[in-house]
Structure 1
């Protein structure tokens, strides 16, 4: 078995044509899984806060579900990253999605027996699906060259759109289905999440062969062996660390802002007479804007550059915060616009940040580094979710939205600093030559 595996790996090392075909096939597999993963992700976003609000009887802790499953995704991101590092993308991603599906089943039972403890424990496990849905984007970049990386990430996210948009708009349908089988209506979307996450895991487990990360490592090792490459210079290592730091900062900040405003929007709408159907429309538009623009944003990031598009992310998030803060509570149009801008800003930040991480890492350590960074992203989301309810309870939704928009402006000096560091490194290398 080992010999056959080695022979298969070497057949890809010696054939650029086979590498290209595997790259395209991997993108297709990632895309297919993301359709299911997006639907599973949408359930917790759409009704998680409302479910907790009903069970707890207070708004102050309405952000806890998002915080808990995001916290769960932090631990899962580390585990999925380590599994992928050791055994490849197939093992890590399949495990993460299936565990997330088990968590969704737990949420359904928690709603049936009205158990807060089981709800929170299940949401923690459900977070594994969220983490895996995010980490799946890396699989498409393993065999991509430097000019394809943002585009590869965007391709995975485009497919997420189909499930992510369908999920919130199926809230009403799944609620009626749940009631028909004597399950609380708000648990309905989590039935969809359980099926979707498990299907996503099975797609990876059955179809992701050979593993793109293992092939990428073998290609890199072969290249170093034939080129007699030495260890990175001190300046290159410093640049790579800065690249990782900047990419992580971009994704962490966009995640905090996006999660905080998104989490409290359904609760805000509920207070002003909007029903589940209206909430589903707004959140559907938001999630669509998180993923659908990937049709073009990945290409723009590869062509225009990581820096310019990160600045665009900060400006877009600021506009989202301003519109959300000023929108009349009964204005569906402005709420849709605000949440759409919020999704677009997140999209720009996530893809540009991910591309910077891939640029600054090698295949030999990439999965472990990516998993660790996704832990930070998840913790940022958990913090944003937990604090959002408290901010609104003690001030207002408008203050929360405005604060998030202002916070996003930090992205601009961060990427300008990174650009300056890159210029310094280029000058140093030119002098050495």
Structure 2
């Protein structure tokens, strides 16, 4: 951890550190994102291959989500104690261990080891979520949304490349005599090792430590209690609003997205069309995040959250109008991705602004925990709802989540409110 005094950094130097840190975080996000992308595709195939049970295919995503939820607060507390460099490097090291466990489980033909490996690999997702918050450590109100969104945008590369590791991975696994589907995880492991090196070597000085020094906060003043994030939720209305916005928007997206391939397949869609639909959805989630970040800085976070909810509602309405029409469902998934992007970028910006600097990381870790748990619960409940009410029924029920978020951010359109009022109570 850097021990330089705050006065040793002038504003131009801090601006250089901020830009370099964002570049390092974006590169690490690309490398770390390969593991998550591989898990969602190759992980499902590998579990089915080892177990022989199609019913276990969804366990890859489930274990990854639970792993991300479990590691969100510990990684945030590590950052609170030792800075982002140590936290993100540790997260990358744990993710490497997760990939190694997955390959070991395949070699041993053990479903249990595979599932544990995918749980541990969920750390990569928790680490990537923390990276977007790390981008705001040296930001101010004018640049917070843009800085955060640039790191979110970098996820696009990992999300696109990860599912396409199958062909090169099979060449590697075949040449090494390893089981099928494991080569992609070897590539992901190598990328995570590179990510570890990038974080450890690149985050010097540590942006969080520089932010503490800039604000004149001594290490002893930084809140390091595990339950500090939940205390902030109880005490700060702005924190509750921001965290609920992120969590409910994420649950909305996961619930509808996770059931789309099943629904489309049951209505005769080809695998090519289903793949195109999900790819368009992922593109909407990440590719346009810099636009939403820029709009967040210009118009205020709560206004962009409201735009995100309008897009989510539009997705549900498209499904309701013609649930068996593949073209309209594809449009709905694109709108769903865009709505999630707007709500997540703006909502995460609100989270970063809702707590004092000395307590901010604790709130960020709690937000990531609840976001992942909300997504897991949404995905878990979506199946039974689909069976009982159909795809259009699921889409209509999810409107309740958007309406709650709209109510929480209802002051966004009040002309008399300043941007600071939109971020803080």
For the superposition of Structure 1 and Structure 2, which TM-score range results when normalised by the shorter chain? 0.7 to 0.9
User: Could you say what the CA RMSD is over the residues aligned between the two structures, in angstroms?
Assistant: 3.3
Change (3 A) 1:388 1:47: farther
Unaligned runs of 5+ in 1: 224-236, 428-433
Report whether the alignment pairs 1:89 with 2:93.
Answer: no
The answer for the alignment partner of 1:18 in structure 2 is: 13
- Determine the C-alpha separation between the residues in 2 that align with 1:110 and 1:389: 28
SS of residue in 2 equivalent to 1:6: coil
Match of 2:345 among 346, 351, 356: 351
- Mapped partners of 1:210, 1:410: distance in 2: 41
Distance 2:172 2:391 in 1: 32
How far has the Cα of 1:196 moved from its partner?
A: 2.7
Instruction: Say whether 1:196 aligns with 2:184.
Output: no
Equivalent position SS for 1:142: coil
Which residue of the partner structure matches residue 228 of structure 1?
A: none
Deviation at 1:299, TM superposition (A): 0.6
Residue 382 (structure 2) aligns with: 388
Q: Cα distance 1:56–1:327, how it changes in 2: closer, same or farther (>3 A)?
A: farther
3-state DSSP of counterpart to 1:365: helix
Once residues 154 and 183 of structure 1 are traced to their aligned partners in structure 2, the CA distance between those partners, rounded to angstroms, is 39
1:230 maps to none
Compare 66-75 and 249-258 and name the one that shifted more: 66-75
Q: Work out whether residues 63 and 387 of structure 1, in 8 Å CA contact, stay in contact via their aligned partners in 2.
A: no
Matched, 1:129 2:124: yes
Partner of 1:414: 408
- Residue pair 2:33, 2:124 contacting (<8 A) in 1 also: no
Worse overlay, 170-179 or 62-71: 170-179
Q: Where does 1:27-176 land on structure 2 (aligned, <5 Å)?
A: 27-49=22-44, 52=47, 55=51, 57-59=53-55, 62-171=57-166, 174=169
Per-residue CA deviations over 1:252-301 (Å, capped at 9, x if unaligned) read 01111122223333444555666766554333322221111112110101
Write out aligned runs for 1:216-295 (5 A).
216-221=211-216, 241-269=236-264, 279-295=274-290
Match of 1:232 in 2: none
Q: 1:384 to 1:28 in 2, by over 3 A?
A: same
Deviation at 1:8, TM superposition (A): 6.0
Cα distance between partner residues in 1 of 2:103 and 2:270: 21
2:394 counterpart (371, 388, 400): 400
Does the aligned pair in 2 maintain the 1:321–1:403 contact within 8 Å?
Answer: no
Q: Give me the whole-angstrom Cα distance separating, in 2, the residues matched to 1:409 and 1:299.
A: 25
Q: Give SS of 2:40's match.
A: helix
**In 2, Cα distance between the equivalents of 1:107 and 1:254?**
31
Q: What residue number does 2:228 align with? A: none
Note closer, same or farther for the CA distance 1:259–1:180 as it changes in structure 2 (3 Å cut).
Answer: farther
Question: Post-superposition shift, 1:165?
Answer: 2.0
Shift of 1:63: 3.9
1 CA distance for matches of 2:74 and 2:233?
27
CA distance 1:372–1:334, shift in 2 (3 Å): same
- Aligned in 2, Cα 1:178/1:304: closer, same or farther, shift over 3 Å? same
C-alpha contact 1:71 1:378 (8 A) present in aligned 2: yes
What SS is found at the alignment partner of 1:209?
A: coil
CA contact (8 A) 1:324 1:339 kept: no
1:111, distance to aligned residue in structure 2 (A): 3.9
Counterpart of 1:321 in structure 2 is 316
State how far apart, in whole Å, the 2-side matches of 1:334 and 1:65 are: 29
**Closer, same or farther in 2 for the Cα pair 1:92/1:341, shift >3 Å?**
same
Q: Note the C-alpha offset of 1:114.
A: 4.0
Contact 1:168 1:284 in 2 (8 A): no
- The unaligned stretches of length 5 or more in structure 2 are 219-231
Please report how far the alpha carbon of residue 319 of structure 1 lies from its aligned counterpart in structure 2 after TM superposition.
2.1
| 1:277 to 1:40, Cα distance in 2 relative to 1, 3 A | farther
Question: Who is 1:227 aligned against?
Answer: none
Match of 2:292 in 1: 297
Contact 1:89 1:139 in 2 (8 A): yes
Q: Paired residue for 2:221?
A: none
Question: 1:5-50 CA deviation, whole Å, 9 max, x = no partner?
Answer: 43365412xx111111111111111111112123222222345455
Cα distance, 1:138 vs. partner?
A: 1.0
After TM superposition, the score normalised by the length of structure 1 is 0.82
What TM-score results when the alignment is normalised by the length of structure 2?
0.84
